[in-house]
Chain A
């Protein structure tokens, strides 16, 4: 039955046959077909099953508004669930599967729901499944979930790549139908930069589906001619297969361009889709209109579709679902479908709700008739007509086209919460005054339905838009067109006792709407949410108005009194991959590497993510099988001799200007005004709310020059904060800031032999002896024979230590030189783990302690907050709640049984107290094994901890099974007097 339903003509290339499979069966179509048109050509009307009742369904439309014919396209990792057969371009080798059915499309066991529909009314699930309580998750819900859902998503990573791009234009024209084409041409001729985007793979919109003429040409040919002219203009970008998904603030539109979806395989170099962010000065929405159905009993059988779509299939794709068809209409446009079909040799009868309807051609018209029922389990076989006089008549037809009129595609006008208004002239909602800024609406999208009028409307919109941007647009001739007015008399719903579908995908029937009204779910939003009307993958493009009309009917109101619903972005569903673009896998976020990264890799370093940075965590040596072996070695050797660590990731901010010291006084809680040149000071920064924000050092290189360091994590936010203080709070201080984090490579050299090692590379004219360069000294030096460097004598480890900084490009060379120079001392390199161990041993607070809720008081630095000057956070830090005598204090912990760990995240209980939240005494912030002490240690915040040194408390972590005793000790496990760092 190959192409048994193919007619003559159409915009398909019969020289390019394409083979494809649907549900395992092979078929043939042509280049230019969609999956739906090709299946219909092959006599296949049944393409899917509905969501709830699993009713057999075929295509209802020929476009992106399709509710029924949705399939799983492609296979394996490339499988795309819920793909509209009506928009999927046919390609050679296409494989598609029907979905939401078992075991097969023709026999679906879940269709039992259809038999039970009387029990499964709108919202039935809210009223039952409550007993016994435990059964919901265990019994009812799994069954419901299994039955629900539509297509199946693969578990495999999406094999395609996606891209993002940015475009700028004067005028974005959305939709390439008659209004859009002429708008684009008018605007382009005026000299504007124009983007014309259309979701279809062939521009022309409705013109591709019509047989009337425009000027001397047939409608599709006229469209092609316009497109050709536009393509020749350098200031026009034509974007086919491009959906404008959303209208965002300030003229920004989201566009999704499908690059390879119509190809058998994505060429490796091409993304599957591109998300474009278009910055437009003006936009003209020319998105056309969508036909709406009339609701009647059993109106959902395969073969029943919108009349305009039936015509589209015939004219554009030379396809008819059947050779005997009927059209059910309330307007003249339905007759046009009958005429076009008859012209192509199909037999047609028209049922017209209007009593005075007349045939406009050689076919029978049943004026005043309505379709009251239909038959055909897997496809339409006949329709039952109730004639004007009440008599019944059955028509044997395989297809029925339904036309209840047309609704302007107002969707994008609603994306910024604009509401359309009811227009009595067209009996539909049309865009009202609440448009996104810069948007105007033309053609059928604005309720202008005649083609000639649409052309004029598009032309006028472009003239206005171009003129508003300062161009001098010229009028162009509007060609004559020969389409007729539609003469619609509203008719929404054929009343009856059986089920009549409003939302076909979600199986919302007219009865459901009546029940919702009966139960007071009468507001439009309640109706939608209670019945799920309009919540399916088509967002109710064909169903919302019928639902409103029926609600109006039962409520005794007009449609606008019932209300309208909001259309939300995206216009049609968008692949998540396109929205994510290239930000996936390793490229999810940028990776920052320090200047010593390559060197560390050569050393076999294990790296760890620290924000966006990769830092060396530890450096395993041959024979070390556990990370602890490496870390213990690095710590012990550093404390014994000397270790080197890359600390480049610390934030570095250069502060210069006459008022630099005053400025630091403002941002640090402790004083900096009196810091002598050549000295470094530890600084604690508070947020304005008095909570510790960050800590670090500030080194004074000159009266008017400081170098501030921040933690790695807060480098960006501290700099931002400092700029806020500078620009917003102290606008006339003479101070300038620049972040130099990336400008300097910085290494810590720590351990008893640190000075000896450095002396080997620091140029001899710089005396770094303890007397000349004591603890907390800083200075500009040169190393390795003239390379400028900065030296700070500061210590995080508690050892005699320095940090040395050189311009970033010398970072790799310096670490190699340091290691060479350190060979005689058996110098080690250490990573972030050993760094952490040594700072815990020394009792230095870090990120785990500066967690955004701790005060200077908690950290044991309460006295650092100067009350003699104004600094950020000082005033609010005096609030009572932050000065509780029982406040948490930073202490050390060590296990009573020295073999036990003291894991971070554990809580602390007073011995003998119940273990519960009410008796919580604090928590462990940081923990490690101390190779110097030979047991685990930890830092913790404990209530009044500073007065409880020596107390044995209970350490509990019910989450991880910890419960043993620990002793509260000073946080300074190593060298509490600080002799080493001053050595």
Chain B
């Protein structure tokens, strides 16, 4: 596969390490009243869709960016690649 890195352009996917669902960005608040329940869902449950999947890839053999790649799990077609940091900020993790 080829991942079009937003900073570096097209790169072979073998330069990257895969982590999983980009929902892993949404780490729960440890002080929430149901923090344990939230962490269990966060840590263990996955949508695992057959279709579009937003997922985390790490450019280990490159610039060490974490990326959020939008890829169809039935065709492997990639439609969007973003810096995970930008996504995290957008999702309110700046605080």
A and B touch in the complex (CB under 8 A): yes
Residues in A lying within 8 Å of B, measured CB to CB: 248-252, 279, 416, 437, 688-689, 716, 720, 723-724, 727-732, 870, 874-876, 878-879
- B29-78 interface with A by 8 A CB criterion: 30-31, 35-36, 39-40, 43, 56, 58, 60, 64-66, 75-78
Whether A876 lies near B40 (C-beta < 8 A) is: yes
Residue of A nearest to B31 (CB): A870
Specify which of B17, B27, B78 is in contact with A720 (CB 8 Å cutoff).
B17
Q: List 29 A-B contacts (CB under 8 A).
A: A249-B2, A249-B76, A250-B1, A250-B2, A250-B78, A252-B1, A279-B2, A279-B10, A279-B12, A416-B75, A437-B77, A689-B43, A716-B60, A720-B58, A720-B60, A723-B64, A724-B19, A728-B25, A728-B84, A728-B85, A729-B27, A729-B88, A729-B93, A732-B93, A732-B94, A732-B95, A876-B39, A876-B43, A879-B36
Whether B66 lies near A728 (C-beta < 8 A) is: yes
Whether B93 lies near A730 (C-beta < 8 A) is: yes
**Known contacts A724-B19, A875-B35, A875-B39; A731 and B85 CB within 8 A of each other:** yes
Task: Provide the residues of chain B in CB contact with A875, threshold 8 Å.
Answer: 28, 30, 35-36, 39
Residue of A nearest to B83 (CB): A727
Apart from A248-B1, A879-B40: 9 A-B pairs, beta carbons within 8 A: A250-B2, A250-B76, A251-B2, A279-B12, A728-B85, A731-B93, A732-B93, A876-B36, A876-B40
Task: Provide the residues of chain B in CB contact with A879, threshold 8 Å.
Answer: 36, 40
Task: Provide the residues of chain B in CB contact with A250, threshold 8 Å.
Answer: 1-2, 76, 78
Residue of A nearest to B3 (CB): A250
Task: Provide the residues of chain B in CB contact with A730, threshold 8 Å.
Answer: 93
- CB B73 to nearest CB in A, in angstroms, measures 12
Residues in B lying within 8 Å of A, measured CB to CB: 1-2, 10, 12, 17, 19, 24-25, 27-28, 30-31, 35-36, 39-40, 43, 56, 58, 60, 64-66, 75-78, 83-86, 88-89, 93-95
Task: Provide the residues of chain B in CB contact with A731, threshold 8 Å.
Answer: 85-86, 88-89, 93-94
- CB B74 to nearest CB in A, in angstroms, measures 10
- CB B5 to nearest CB in A, in angstroms, measures 14
A47 vs B2: C-alpha distance when bound (angstroms): 45
Specify which of B2, B39, B66 is in contact with A724 (CB 8 Å cutoff).
B66
**Known contacts A730-B93, A870-B30; A252 and B19 CB within 8 A of each other:** no
- CB A48 to nearest CB in B, in angstroms, measures 40
Residue of A nearest to B66 (CB): A727
Residue of A252, A728, A875 most packed against chain B (CB within 10 A): A728
Task: Provide the residues of chain B in CB contact with A437, threshold 8 Å.
Answer: 75, 77
Specify which of B24, B43, B75, B94 is in contact with A728 (CB 8 Å cutoff).
B24
A732 vs B88: C-alpha distance when bound (angstroms): 9
Whether A878 lies near B36 (C-beta < 8 A) is: yes
Residue of A nearest to B58 (CB): A720
**Known contacts A437-B77, A724-B58; A729 and B25 CB within 8 A of each other:** yes
Q: 4 closest pairs, A vs B, by CB?
A: A870-B30, A731-B88, A732-B94, A250-B2
- CB B62 to nearest CB in A, in angstroms, measures 12
A724 vs B94: C-alpha distance when bound (angstroms): 14
Task: Provide the residues of chain B in CB contact with A416, threshold 8 Å.
Answer: 75
A513 vs B42: C-alpha distance when bound (angstroms): 52
Task: Provide the residues of chain B in CB contact with A723, threshold 8 Å.
Answer: 58, 64, 66
Whether A728 lies near B56 (C-beta < 8 A) is: yes
**Known contacts A727-B65, A874-B30; A252 and B39 CB within 8 A of each other:** no
A723 vs B78: C-alpha distance when bound (angstroms): 23
Whether B88 lies near A728 (C-beta < 8 A) is: yes
Residue of A nearest to B29 (CB): A870
- CB A590 to nearest CB in B, in angstroms, measures 13
Task: Provide the residues of chain B in CB contact with A688, threshold 8 Å.
Answer: 27, 39, 43
A716 vs B30: C-alpha distance when bound (angstroms): 27
Task: Provide the residues of chain A in CB contact with B24, threshold 8 Å.
Answer: 728
Task: Provide the residues of chain B in CB contact with A720, threshold 8 Å.
Answer: 17, 58, 60
**Known contacts A720-B60, A728-B24; A249 and B1 CB within 8 A of each other:** yes
Task: Provide the residues of chain A in CB contact with B64, threshold 8 Å.
Answer: 723
Residue of B nearest to A870 (CB): B30
**Known contacts A689-B43, A729-B88; A252 and B65 CB within 8 A of each other:** no
Residue of B nearest to A720 (CB): B58
Whether A252 lies near B2 (C-beta < 8 A) is: yes
A879 vs B37: C-alpha distance when bound (angstroms): 10
- CB A867 to nearest CB in B, in angstroms, measures 10
Task: Provide the residues of chain A in CB contact with B17, threshold 8 Å.
Answer: 720
Task: Provide the residues of chain A in CB contact with B78, threshold 8 Å.
Answer: 250
Task: Provide the residues of chain A in CB contact with B85, threshold 8 Å.
Answer: 727-728, 731
Task: Provide the residues of chain A in CB contact with B12, threshold 8 Å.
Answer: 279
Task: Provide the residues of chain A in CB contact with B84, threshold 8 Å.
Answer: 727-728
Residue of B10, B64, B78, B89 most packed against chain A (CB within 10 A): B64
Whether A732 lies near B89 (C-beta < 8 A) is: yes
Residue of B nearest to A723 (CB): B64
A824 vs B64: C-alpha distance when bound (angstroms): 47
Task: Provide the residues of chain B in CB contact with A716, threshold 8 Å.
Answer: 60
A876 vs B86: C-alpha distance when bound (angstroms): 27
Residue of B nearest to A437 (CB): B77
Residue of A252, A716, A875, A879 most packed against chain B (CB within 10 A): A875
Task: Provide the residues of chain A in CB contact with B2, threshold 8 Å.
Answer: 249-252, 279
- CB B20 to nearest CB in A, in angstroms, measures 11
Residue of A248, A279, A416, A876 most packed against chain B (CB within 10 A): A876
Task: Provide the residues of chain A in CB contact with B66, threshold 8 Å.
Answer: 723-724, 727-728
Residue of A279, A720, A731, A732 most packed against chain B (CB within 10 A): A731
A416 vs B83: C-alpha distance when bound (angstroms): 29
- CB A659 to nearest CB in B, in angstroms, measures 12
Whether A727 lies near B76 (C-beta < 8 A) is: no
Task: Provide the residues of chain B in CB contact with A729, threshold 8 Å.
Answer: 25, 27, 88, 93
- CB A790 to nearest CB in B, in angstroms, measures 23
A879 vs B78: C-alpha distance when bound (angstroms): 38
- CB A663 to nearest CB in B, in angstroms, measures 14
Residue of A nearest to B35 (CB): A875
- CB B23 to nearest CB in A, in angstroms, measures 11
Residue of B nearest to A737 (CB): B64
A716 vs B93: C-alpha distance when bound (angstroms): 25
Task: Provide the residues of chain A in CB contact with B36, threshold 8 Å.
Answer: 875-876, 878-879
Residue of A nearest to B27 (CB): A729
Residue of A nearest to B87 (CB): A728
